[in-house]
Amino acid sequence: MARVRVVRSNGGGDSLQSIRVGLAVGGVVLALLFLSSTYYQVEPEEVGVVTRFGKYLRTTNPGLHFKWPWGIEQVQTVKTQRRLKEEFGFRTVQAGRRSAFSEADHKAEALMLTGDLNAADVEWVVQYRISDPRAYLFQVRDPEDTLRDLTESVMRAVVGDRSVYEVLTVGREEINVQVKEQLQKPLTDYGTGLTVELVQLQTVDPPDAGVMQAFNDVNQAEQEKERAVNQATQEYNDRYYVAVGEAEKTIAEAEGYRIDRINRALGETSRFLSLLGEYQKAPEVTRTRLYLESMTEVLPRLGPKVIVDAELQSALPLLHLGAQGGSQ
């Protein structure tokens, strides 16, 4: 009889083992994907805006957080603590001690018409912050473009209400404040989620070299005018207050003299009335007393005197009356 040899093959076992290994690896990969999509990190200057199937769900603070995986919940981070900046009329390529600026022409947004129908190249900066991340992401399609359009519109309106001299010199700070206030209102009304922190004019110049020289001459003339006015005002103040002081001094002296004369007159009147009363009581005695008092006051002023008898015919020559300086 012929012998039949049966050979057993292990191919089926190897295939099953490979399938098991593949499933294990796939499970590990899926687990890693699941775990990696369930948490997210929010940096210190950011907040996380979480959406579920595209609908806003919540806002999370900085730190480690968890969410539903596989796109069920998605996270967008927004830098709410960073002050952002938009430049108008120029672009900064590299900031630093020696800042580099773009050579592209941005004169179209810088050229403006002032209220007195003069032209000026106005460059300015707007610094802002994202105050409402939900509104910033979902309320307006392009918040930055909206900010730029509104800023340029408001700046042109404010500059158009002022003379070119104000824009170049004394009105710059007021323009900054007014543009900031007028810009914030439409940003809030449109729900952009942006808050303006600062508006700052940079360089403001006439549009060409010839006009610039004329404006420089006008500016210098205005400065000389202000200096002359200040000097005149100072001299006026010096002379005015000196004159006021002298006038007050004269008035005070006159008032003192008036009071003194009044007091003297009142004293003399009181004394006269007192003497009159005494005279009416004893006329002879009062007359004699007044005479003696008058002589007591007058005679000492006349110097030495020699009194002789009125009936004397001649004086002795030895007396030398004239030498003594007296009178008879």
| pLDDT in 10s for each residue of the chain, 328 residues | 445 444 444 555 567 777 777 777 776 666 666 666 788 889 999 999 999 998 999 999 998 888 888 778 889 999 999 999 999 988 887 665 555 555 566 788 888 889 888 888 899 999 999 999 999 999 999 999 999 999 999 999 999 999 888 888 888 999 999 999 999 999 999 999 999 999 999 988 877 655 666 667 777 888 899 999 999 999 998 899 889 989 999 999 999 999 999 999 999 898 888 878 877 888 888 888 888 888 888 878 777 776 666 676 665 554 555 554 444 4
The pLDDT, as a whole number, for residue 2 is 44
CA angle 32, 33, 37 (to 5 degrees): 115
The pLDDT, as a whole number, for residue 154 is 96
Q: Where are the domains of the chain?
A: 24-78, 84-207
The pLDDT, as a whole number, for residue 48 is 93
Q: Structurally, what CATH architecture does the domain formed by 84-207 represent? A: 2-Layer Sandwich (3.30)
CB atoms < 10 A from the CB of 149, how many?
12
The pLDDT, as a whole number, for residue 209 is 54
- What are the two backbone dihedrals, phi and then psi, of residue 197, each rounded to the nearest 5 degrees? -95, -35
Helices (H) and strands (E) in the chain, counts: 8, 11
The pLDDT, as a whole number, for residue 327 is 44
CA angle 119, 173, 85 (to 5 degrees): 85
CB atoms < 10 A from the CB of 201, how many?
21
Q: Read off the tokens for 101.
A: 């600026």
> Closest Cα partner for 202 from 114, 125, 126, 110?
125
Q: Which segments of 107-142 does DSSP mark as H helices, in order?
A: 107-110, 133-138
The DSSP 8-state label assigned to residue 2 in this structure reads -
Distance (Å, rounded) from C-alpha 244 to C-alpha 311?
Answer: 69
- What are the two backbone dihedrals, phi and then psi, of residue 67, each rounded to the nearest 5 degrees? -150, 170
Using DSSP, state whether 181 is helix, strand or coil. helix
The pLDDT, as a whole number, for residue 196 is 96
